[in-house]
Structure 1
């Protein structure tokens, strides 16, 4: 007896479409179905085979029956089947014929008739309904190309259910493309893997569509994987495949892999296009690889490609990220020579390059050039220029540009306002910064944490510690949580104001932050203690840092040394300086200067001079402050010879003594009774282009008084008046005593 499969296949080969009343449909594209009323031997949830296999099995029992009732009896099933004949040339009949290699012929439905049978109206209506459904599915698939991936999947599922229809490669590619555009890369991959099971072998277009879907979904690894899989399937990747993979790597920040794929393309004689080069250049731009980005632009000409505005803009952006403003301007000039018209994005990228390079004047110049080439600056252009001005503290120009934007009816965004506030902060314009903060809500821009932190920084630089704390306390009232930067700016403001208690309190209050931010907070608090001459508090914070998992820095020690110096604790200051090397820190000029100053305050002129002369032995060059502190130490110790020797060493080192150095040296000579040297130094000051102040004259007059030279003292007093320096009571008193003593 023939099996149920052979019986069903025979009926299908005869050209019958089997429709079950319980929802089961038999066709050349079989599906899984629960057969509830069948008495056949087919088990539940059986999976039927393809039309080719069914047709091959049917050759054993190829019989004809006169009508549908006979076929139904022959199948011996209890299912309420309805058999409809498929006319020659229909999609289902043609698919059956193709499955058999085109050799099968449809036998007559009855022994009493010859030639093709004429389908009934009922059968003809069913065929037309199937054709209509296929047309609808294809239209759905076509309409889904814009990214309606759900519609695409419904269309594919609908095609699977059509009797005798095998989904072709083109339909799958359209569905994969729709999934890619809809951001459904996983669905795209599923469709690709499903294709072989549905009789459609993945081709070049299918793989390219999947790679592109992975690129749009940010799955660069999957994109490269499918690109590498293509040759194993006998498919040679083309420019589209490589381009999609390179784009995926660019989106994923994998510039090295993007370049490797570009080189592989060239090695395989696959010609890249401008879009592919642009993707590679863009990947380098995002990584700040400006040299490679520029070289790719120049390389394009060697492969017969002309860089477009996107190529140049991406390369200029790369230069901007690397702070290479000169190279950015050179590329802008190359565009002009090549006849490529820059757009607003190009100019904005060039402006950003100038901003990162600290060239605010060039940034402003580019902004003014934009209207001359028929373009209109946008918010990004203005924001970039304001940022450039902010970095150089050009607060007035930044504010003028902000007002210019508003006059041109451009709406500044929060980045623009934050840049303007930052400009005011760097210029110490705390009032203007607060005004901008208050203005933001009136234009529909609620300030963010960056806005408040910048205003606090402005107050810090303007020595307004009270206002800084007030702004910090305001943040929670507007729904913002201060971060470590906010707190550190406030602590720094307290440090500059010598408010060590407030600084320490804010340090304890600071939320959990990164190690770097916590170190900054501790350093600022130590500096606050130093300013407030709280050396014990400063040392306590310094010793506390390692216990909370923080490494001390050079700044930590320099502030602690300064704290000791302000209380004349020269020995403790020097010990801290020596301790630095034991914890792996190399003291810098600031540390030595603080230690020298501490020795001077503690009347340890020899220690001060020794530290000064030690600096070159550890690779440090003493600066003006180093020498002035040492000279002041000598003056305090009445060591005029050493003071003059240090002053001479300073000139030999190529440093020009400043007013403080000369005043300290004159004071040393005054204490040593060397009036001639004091007067000579006064003349040397004038020759060096320095204007003596009241301290200079008073010290020189005091030297004359100590030497009993009242006439020279009076002459200096007259000179002092003539130069516009008003003598004080001490100067007059000293001269009066001298004149009375020597008649």
Structure 2
């Protein structure tokens, strides 16, 4: 077999097609050993092989190696290296190459501009639009790829008006990919009216919507507060040919109904799907979620049972969707559902376990969450599950058990979160253990978990309910320390503790900013029953015109 530039060129071209960059570079090296000068076509094929494999550094090096060689880089060489940069999110290099190409009098063609536009889509959307305008200025007629890339950039920037302007400046007939990109841009910014309008306009431009068109418009409808209008317009605009046999579009519609808590519409659509396509597990899971959001447990359980009859795989997601129906506190039903997973040969996950614990919390059941944690398989008891068990103990005023759970977490590998600490503070507040709360707050810093407004408000409440009003005032000082505004509820708790101890002046100063009649009435009532001789009129005047505030209240008598 004769070995010449043509045989090597064919071999390297085949390597480029298969993204075999190592073989392509090896062939170039062999040509140099045999002193066969590669053609620019063979060199470009090697660059393309590197580009397709994401080897942008090697593609860039091949471009540099051409300096001093008898062959010169052409627009294809630059475009291939730019493509490699695009695939590796190296938009700066792609733009630099475009500038270098133009400086060397190698006329930049539309492919090079398209590559530059594509490279800028994710991070530099304004540059992508500029590249489109630059190609137009150089009398290059943008193709659908140019427009679609620029429109995708507008979508990434959530700027669909700019997308519409790009389409007008394109000076070519719009295509379905261009329309899809603009609908996507409208959907990302909640412009559902524009998205539906564009969908309805497509037939007038002799364009046929496809699955991406419908999916993007559905996304806009899901985000819309006017979901019913959006869905009506959408359903009447989607061609029947797309609905027939297309479970994806049906599932998107079901998701829109579920998001809007329109369980009846979701059930109706699921029933009618049989005439168009076969519902899958996603169809049922989504409809189950719609029913549970409306607390229609019977429909949710019927759908879960129907999945078995339809020979559809019931996953942990299916059972978790149904568990939401019992989140109102019907913990016995929730535990039955969890137990039925074993019958269905479905292993419960942390989500299933925490959902059952949440139902126990609402129903006042705290024993089962502790038992579940004690028997949980490795990896099941994560922070979310512990938080759910902690909340159940807090709700049932089982502060000792809540403290035990915290000790288990810190002794093991499960890191407590601020939610964990908040639940424990609530449990201690219910158990009137303010001294433990004050020990817990500094411990949060050791666990790298800073208290939030909920933590501190619960701590204030714990001190007030534990008849430690001075401690409550001390906790109030933590709010500015953590750059948090003290909620009115926290001020009321501290004021309640102070007034209960006959310290109505401090209580009045805390609530001076409140215009709620209940606050002034509560303090007046406390003052009337205290040992102070101050008349209610003086008290009310202090509430209305106190000139100091919390800091003065902390220093008052």
Q: TM-score, normalised by structure 1?
A: 0.55
Contact 1:347 1:366 in 2 (8 A): no
- Over residues 35-75 of structure 1, what are the superposed CA-to-partner deviations in whole Å (9 max), with x where a residue is unaligned? xxxxxxxxxxxxxxxxxxxxxxxxxxxxxxxxxxxxxxxxx
Shift of 1:589: 1.2
For residue 409 of structure 2, what is the aligned residue in structure 1?
Answer: 545
Q: 1:206 aligns with which of 42, 48, 51?
A: 42
Change (3 A) 1:614 1:444: closer
Tell me: CA distance 1:356–1:459, structure 2 relative to 1, closer, same or farther (3 Å).
farther
> Are residues 332 and 432 of structure 1, via their aligned partners in 2, closer, same or farther at CA, if it must alter by over 3 Å?
same
2:456 equivalent in structure 1 = 592
Residue 235 (structure 1) aligned with residue 71 (structure 2) = yes
The reply on whether 1:669 has 2:512 as its aligned counterpart is no
Q: Which of 423, 429, 433 matches 1:565?
A: 429
8 A contact 2:247–2:279 mirrored in 1: no
Encode CA deviations 1:680-715: one digit per residue, 9 max, x unaligned.
99xx9xxxxxxxxxxxxxxxxxxxxxxxxxxxxxxx
Cross-structure match for 2:511: 647
User: In the alignment, which residue of structure 1 is the partner of 2:552?
Assistant: none
Moved more, 614-623 or 189-198: 189-198
What is the alpha-carbon distance in structure 2 between the residues aligned to residue 170 and residue 555 of structure 1? Answer: 69
CA 270–406 in structure 1, closer or farther in 2 if over 3 Å, else same = closer
User: Counterpart of 1:561 in 2: which secondary structure?
Assistant: helix
Q: 1:527 to 1:346 in 2, by over 3 A?
A: farther
The whole-number CA distance in structure 2 between the counterparts of 1:543 and 1:612 is: 27
Residues 249 and 283 in structure 1, CA contact (< 8 A), matched pair in contact too = yes
Quick one: distance in 1 between partners of 2:71 and 2:352? Answer: 58
More displaced stretch, 519-528 vs 471-480: 471-480
Q: In the alignment, which residue of structure 1 is the partner of 2:149?
A: 314
Match of 1:612 in 2: 476
Give the direction of change, closer, same or farther, for the CA distance of 1:245–1:481 in structure 2 (3 Å limit): farther
Q: What is the alpha-carbon distance in structure 2 between the residues aligned to residue 255 and residue 523 of structure 1? A: 44
Equivalent residues of 1:638, 1:668 under 8 A apart? no
Matches within 5 A, 1:107-506: 160=1, 166-195=2-31, 200-231=36-67, 233-285=69-121, 287-301=122-136, 305=140, 307-321=142-156, 324-325=157-158, 327-357=159-189, 359=190, 362-373=191-202, 374=205, 375-390=207-222, 408-411=240-243, 443-447=278-282, 453=317, 456=320, 460=324, 463-464=327-328, 500-501=366-367, 503=369
Deviation at 1:206, TM superposition (A): 0.3
Specify whether residues 387 and 333 from structure 1 end up closer, same or farther in structure 2 by C-alpha distance, changes over 3 A only.
same
**CA deviation after TM superposition for structure 1 residue 339, in Å:** 3.3
**CA offsets, 1:561-594, max 9 Å, x none?**
1222222222222322233234444322111111
8 Å Cα contact 1:504-1:525 kept in structure 2: yes
Bigger Cα displacement from structure 2, 624-633 vs 585-594: 624-633
| Alpha-carbon offset, residue 243 of structure 1 | 0.9
Paired residues of 1:422 and 1:454 also in contact (CA < 8 A): no
Structure-2 residue corresponding to 1:536 = 400
- Alignment of structure 1 residues 727-738 onto 2, 5 Å: none
**DSSP 3-state at the match of 2:484:** coil
Q: Is the 8 A contact 1:449 1:483 kept in 2?
A: no
Residues 1:178 and 1:365: Cα distance change in structure 2 (over 3 Å): same
Q: What is the match of residue 467 of structure 2? A: 603
Segments of 5+ residues of structure 1 without an aligned counterpart are 1-159, 161-165, 652-656, 685-743
Q: 1:605 to 1:471 in 2, by over 3 A?
A: same
Q: Give, in angstroms, the shift of residue 204 of structure 1.
A: 0.5
Q: In structure 1, how many angstroms separate the alpha carbons of the residues matched to 2:369 and 2:501? A: 36
RCO comparison, higher one (Cα < 8 Å, 6+): 2
Task: Return 5+ residue gaps in structure 2 as ranges.
Answer: 287-315, 530-534, 545-557
Match of 1:18 in 2: none
Aligned length: 497
8 Å CA contact retained: 1:428, 1:462: no
State the secondary structure of the residue aligned to 1:648.
Answer: coil
C-alpha separation in 2, matches of 1:390 and 1:549: 40
Q: Residues of 2 paired with 1:256 and 1:204: CA distance?
A: 25
1-structure distance, mates of 2:392, 2:270: 27
